[in-house]
Amino acid sequence: MYLRLMVKAFIFLLVIGAFIGTSAFAQNAAFQNVSLDITNPAFEALTLKSEVNNSNYKIFISKPESYYSNTNKDFPVLYVLDANGLFTLMTQIYDLLRLSNEIPEMIIVGIGYDVPTFSDSFALRVTDLTPSKVSEEERILESHFRTNVVSGGAAGFLNLITGQIVPLIDENYRTNRIRVLAGFSLGGLFSTYAMLHSNGIFTH
């Protein structure tokens, strides 16, 4: 069933008519390392500078359909890894499931990299999504990607998420503290690692 939903998501185009208003991030002194970069009217895109490794990350935020019409309601948050390649797909799957009311409304937050294409993020994701250093695998991946690959950076990436990204979202959006972390392949490995080492920040 999940596979069928993914296939449908690829061929099903849902045009979202939501328009993003002026953000208050620039006025929030606690987040001076965040810049607003709206590139699509269906979601917000932010550039976040990591305090852990000094790198720039792209954060994508999609709000649920009743976010503006029901201002007294708080929402769970789905955090999606590998957002450069998966954020649009996940929002389309979400839209399909919402059509049949199979899942509740939620805020979707994509965590990605400040790079032009998904393929440009491959080496970066190896660093962030692997809990331990594996030198032999690094050499194999370097020959494939033709770039330097370093593994074992999951602890720092988790610190970035729990120390900067989650507080950023909770401070600026109406969240209800239910947090889901989702990823595929190495993202699934990292999600398991995060569930064991995040002190209950993620509920699912």
Q: Amino acid letter at 11?
A: I
Is residue 17 scored above 70 in pLDDT?
no
- Parent domain of 168: 2-7+33-197
In-domain check, residue 16:
no
- DSSP, collapsed to helix, strand or coil, labels residue 94 as helix
Question: Worst-scoring range by mean pLDDT, 64-68, 98-102, 133-137?
Answer: 133-137
More confident residue, 203 or 25: 203
In-domain check, residue 204:
no
In-domain check, residue 27:
no
Other Cβ atoms closer than 10 A to 41: 12
Q: The domain that contains 161 carries what CATH number?
A: 3.40.50.1820
Is residue 21 scored above 70 in pLDDT?
no
In-domain check, residue 21:
no
70 contact partners, CB below 8 Å, separation of at least 6: none
**Total structural domains in the chain?**
1
What pTM was computed for the model? 0.78
In-domain check, residue 12:
no
Average pLDDT over residues 145-158: 85
Average pLDDT over residues 34-55: 73
State the angle between helix axes of 122-129 and 186-197 in degrees (0 to 180), rounded to the nearest 10: 30
Q: What is the pLDDT of residue 204?
A: 87
